[in-house]
Structure formats: structure tokens, C-alpha cells
Structure 1
Amino acid sequence: MEKKEVIYVPENPVSQFLFNDTRSGVFWLFVRIYLGWVWLNSGWGKVWNENWTGENAGGAITGFVQGALAKSMETADVTGWYASFLESFVLPNAKLFSYMVSIGEVLVGLGLIFGLLTGIAAFFGTFMNVSFLFAGTLSTNPLLFILGTWLVLAWKVAGWYGLDRWILPRLGTPWGKLSK
């Protein structure tokens, strides 16, 4: 069996700086705090709203899903497969999803603000953004999705000015010992 040559393509300077250089952490700090504040503010309002986590938990999700289902029948804003998912899985479990969304938004916001498991927090934020987009809700979701996706890509340095600087090496990050 003959050996195949492995060719490594060098990183371009811009992506090297943005995604691998800790000096870009200042830029990501501003992105993180903005995005974290948006998520925390949205989730905090839901946590204290009885239609999300109170006596009527599930009411807000039920209304949201019914609106998305109406869009799926009237326009092409919501695809059929996603409408089926909403109708058969989310709607019967509206109370559970209500808690998951409201508490999830708070956790994503706190993770981003404190720079704790930044890549994971950003991933779950973008997952929620995509869910809202699939349900036909534009609002700020495209912008939040783009910023969150960039934070996922920059996970190694996005939390440098945050708790990730100390937590990730203890968790055993793939890059091992940091070089100076």
C-alpha cells in the first residue's frame, strides 16, 4: 500500500486572525456581549411571563405555533415538513418547549456575556434562530444567526476575554498547551 502525501493548506491571514489569534478576542468580546444581551433580555422577559413559565406555561408557544401553521397554509413562509413537526411534536409538548425556550435563551445569553463555553452557547443560540426562521419569523433572527455562526467558528478565541480562557484548558481543549 503506497503512502499518500498529506497536503496542508495554510490559513489565510484574515481567518487566521479572526479565528485563531487571541488579539481578535476584543472584537469577539463586543459581538458576544451584544448577542448575549439580546438573548438574555429576550429570555428574561419570558421567564417572568406566566404564558411562558407561569400558570399558563405553553400558551405563548401554542400561539406562536398556531401562527406558524397558519403561515404554512397561506404562504410558503413555513415548509410542510416543519409545519408537521410543529403540529405533531411541539404543539403537544408546548409546556415543555415553553420552559426550554425561555430558560435556554437565558443560558445562551449568560454563556455569551461571561464567555463560558462560548462556542456551545452560540451554537444553541443559532439553533433557536434557525427554529424561529423555519417557523416564518424574520425579525432579528437572520442577524443573530450570522453573528452566532461566526462565534461558533471563532470558539477558540471568542471567549478569550471571558471564562473560556481558564475553563477550556481545564476541560481538555483539542489544541493542548497554549503557545506564547
Structure 2
Amino acid sequence: MSTTQDLRTQIPEPTLTRFLFADTRLAPLWTLLRIWLGYEWLHAGWGKVTNPAGVWVGDKAGVAIEGFLKGSLAKTQGDHPDVSGWYASFIQNVALPNAELLSYMVAFGEVFVGIALILGLFTGIAAFFGGLMNANFLFAGTVSSNPIMLVAAFAIVLGWRIAGHYGLDRIALPMVGVPGAPGRLFRRVTPQAKPAL
């Protein structure tokens, strides 16, 4: 047996994980989880975008997130700080100087993640970015609903193949494709050979 064949060995997917994350019989369950998570994101983001004080989006953009970040920096003290030193450094050197931009990114990011999850459009990608926001909120010392939303996002990332089955992924993924398997829009069309005369 050659070395090339050894490197190409694939480990088969266990029956349980194939059932949980790839069997369309569980699509209704994944759809409910996906829509719930999407609603949570859309609700949170819409409140920020439409905030009448304009502290997230508008003429005072960045005020709310600056207050949140300064509150996070206050949680770095003591024997068991809620915010790690490395994340406090990120807040101090990256997030606070860009609070206005970050404010828009958070508000609109939450809305876009929520809409994508509710519609079931690029579900795995939307869940990944939602989970990334949850992780950042947790790193900043805010618990709230973030742990349960993070777990739901991780689950949807794992079950992306069927989480969007009852959604726009059913149309979009065959057209766009996935890494390593381009969809109809990105497949190369090979020219037909001309018949010999």
C-alpha cells in the first residue's frame, strides 16, 4: 500500500451523527431551533437599529457599546475576573477606538444573522457568525442568554445540511454549492468536442 493511499483514508461518519446532523427526518426539529435563534437575533438587533436615542445606529452611534465595553474593563479586577486580560487588551486597543464602527457592525450583524436564520439562507454561516458574537459577549463578561444561544448556534453549525432544509438553503445551496462542490452557478462548462469531418 502506498503512502498516498494511507493519506486518503476517510473515517466513516457514525450512524448517530449522520441521523442527528444529516437526516432530513429531523429537519422540522432543526427548523424550530433555527427560527427560534433567528428570532432572538432579529429581536436584539432590531431594538438596536431602531433605538430612538440613536446610541447604536445614528448620530450618537458608539455611545452604548462604549459604555458596555468600559463596563467589561471594570470586570478585569480581582482574583477571579469575569474578563480575561487578553480580551481586556483587545477591548482597550481595538474595540474602544473603533466603537462607532463596532456599534454598526453589532446592530446590523444581529439583524442580518436573525433574518438569515429565520429564512434558512446560508444557515451554517449565519449560525457561525451568531455564535461568534455570542462568544465575544461572553468574553466581555456578559452571561444573559448568550450561553444557550451559543450552544444552539454550535448545534446549527453542525447540522447545517438539514437546518436549512425547510428554508431558502434548499434553493440556494444547489445553486451556489459548498466548498469543494460548486453549485450550478459556479460549475465550469466544458466545451463540446467538435465532430470529426
Same fold (TM over 0.5): yes
Look up the match of 1:2.
2
| Correspondence for 1:98 | 103
User: Percent of aligned positions with the same letter in both sequences?
Assistant: 52
Report the alpha carbon displacement of residue 175 of structure 1 after superposing the two structures with TM.
Answer: 5.7
Answer yes or no: is the 8 Å Cα contact 1:116–1:164 preserved in 2: yes
2:65 to 36, 41, 61: 61
Q: How many residues align?
A: 177
Q: Distance in 1 between matches of 2:177 and 2:134?
A: 29
Could you tell me how far apart the structure 1 residues matched to 2:145 and 2:61 are?
A: 24
Instruction: Select 1:85's aligned residue among 82, 90, 96.
Output: 90
* Alpha-carbon separation, structure 1, partners of 2:175 and 2:12: 28
Structure 1 length as normaliser, TM-score? 0.92
Q: Secondary structure at the match of 2:77?
A: helix
Unaligned 5+ runs, structure 1? none
TM-score by length of 2: 0.85
Deviation at 1:88, TM superposition (A): 1.0
Identify if the C-alpha distance between structure 1 residues 176 and 19 changes in structure 2 by more than 3 Å, giving closer, same or farther.
Answer: farther
Q: Within 1, Cα distance between the matches of 2:182 and 2:60?
A: 48
Q: Is the helix fraction higher in 1 or 2?
A: 1
Q: Is the 8 A contact 2:83 2:141 kept in 1?
A: yes
User: How big is the alpha-carbon RMSD for the aligned residues of Structure 1 and Structure 2?
Assistant: 1.7
The one-letter amino acid paired with 2:111 is V
Alpha-carbon offset, residue 18 of structure 1: 1.6
Please name the residue that 2:34 is paired with: 32
Output the CA distance in 1 between the equivalents of 2:182 and 2:16: 23
Indicate conservation of the 8 Å contact 2:76/2:82, yes or no.
Answer: yes
- Any conservation in 2 of the 1:79–1:134 contact (CA below 8 Å)? yes
What are structure 2's unaligned runs of at least 5 residues? 184-197
Q: Indicate the structure (1 or 2) with the bigger Cα radius of gyration.
A: 2
Matched-pair contact (CA < 8 Å) for 1:46–1:53: yes
Superposed displacement of residue 14, structure 1 = 2.2
Which deviates more, 25-34 or 15-24? Answer: 15-24
